[in-house]
A = this chain, B = another copy of it.
């Protein structure tokens, strides 16, 4: 999920700035200790930590906000513990995107060089041939992602909670990585297997790869930390699952129909790289796909070609189908909040998220 697109999901509950500031403070402290610890091991290692920290800055702390939204509206008052657990999910997110960039062979994120990019560029500037420079960049990212993952587990351990809560939080953190790894593996295989995946396969993959660790698990972690009853934790997981799927569906719609100035991404990027989405899964089973299929995933797709694909995706009903599916999941998510064991404060906190997800429709 691209951070630039996350900006549209906002206004979730009270004091979002305070929350972000507390999470930022935890991360700043964490990286400051790591950099000092790295000093005796070499200047380049300090730089790796600096670049890892830079990689966590600029996002909207979406996952920590999910943690804190659940935690505070369920009565949690240990704001430092909440911020610590939130920061842990931010580091998990960092680890996953850094390793996802390795898998996708990406050197740029949000328009600036990522860790791979900055290590590649430095090697290039020092005269390394291009494949050597790229390899150095990728290697640095493999290492940095491992460090971020370690940080995620450590921040849970250091959140100052009792042993039983800590173990449950670690279970949730595990579940987040466990699901994301499964989704990433499926996504890797989508890229090369000749058969186009079906709509359900896409939804399954997107849920595992992103929705579980971005919505379900952070919300559940916040509830566990607040000492909420099991049924509340379960309902929050269900809400997060549905909302996360809706989010991904809208994200895929924006990747094809969104305006570049809003999404921060080229509007033809997803079509050019042949990203498997619900839109494509739907369209590929309808008449007329064979005629436009050669355009999809073509490296030299131009604006005219992208427009032709877009027109086809509207005409064959794919856009309408994906929009309807997103609405279905978002509404199902909202309906779950009506259960009697969901306190009104939590409902008030989470409702705007669903509204914002749906308002994002391009």
Contacts and interface: CB of A to CB of B under 8 A. Distances in A.
Interface of A: 34, 37-38, 41-42, 44-45, 48, 95, 99, 102-103, 105, 123, 126-128, 132, 135-136, 138-140, 142-143, 145-147, 149-150, 153-154, 157, 163, 166-167, 170, 174, 177-179, 181-182, 184-186, 188-189, 191-194, 204, 208
Contacts of A135: 105
A243 to B, nearest CB: 20
A132 B192 CA distance: 7
A124 to B, nearest CB: 11
19 contacts: A37-B178, A38-B182, A44-B186, A45-B182, A45-B186, A95-B146, A102-B102, A102-B142, A105-B135, A128-B192, A136-B188, A139-B184, A143-B188, A146-B177, A150-B153, A150-B177, A153-B170, A154-B170, A157-B170
Contacts of A178: 34, 37-38, 147, 150
A123 B192 contact: yes
A167 B177 contact: no
Contacts of A185: 42, 44-45, 48, 139-140, 143
Number of copies: 2
Given A41-B179, A41-B182, A179-B41, A188 B149 contact: no
Given A42-B204, A48-B181, 18 more contacts: A37-B178, A41-B208, A42-B182, A44-B185, A99-B146, A103-B139, A126-B193, A127-B194, A128-B192, A136-B189, A136-B192, A139-B188, A142-B145, A145-B146, A150-B177, A153-B170, A157-B166, A157-B167
Contacts of A127: 194
Which of the listed residues A45, A166, A186, A204 has the most CB atoms from chain B within 10 Å of its own CB? Answer: A45
A191 B140 CA distance: 13
Which of A132, A166, A188: most chain B Cβ within 10 A? A188
Contacts of A105: 135
Contacts of A193: 126
A193 to B, nearest CB: 8
A156 to B, nearest CB: 9
Contacts of A128: 192
A310 to B, nearest CB: 28
Contacts of A44: 185-186, 189
Contacts of A163: 163
Given A147-B181, A181-B147, A192-B123, A186 B42 contact: yes
Contact of A177 (B138, B147, B194): B147
A91 to B, nearest CB: 13
A91 B142 CA distance: 17
- The winner among A103, A105, A167, A182 for most chain B CB atoms within 10 A is A182
Contacts of A95: 146
B103 A188 contact: no
Contacts of A103: 138-139, 142-143
Top 3 closest A-B pairs, CB basis?
A: A41-B182, A153-B153, A139-B188
Given A41-B208, A136-B188, A208-B41, A142 B142 contact: yes
Contacts of A138: 103
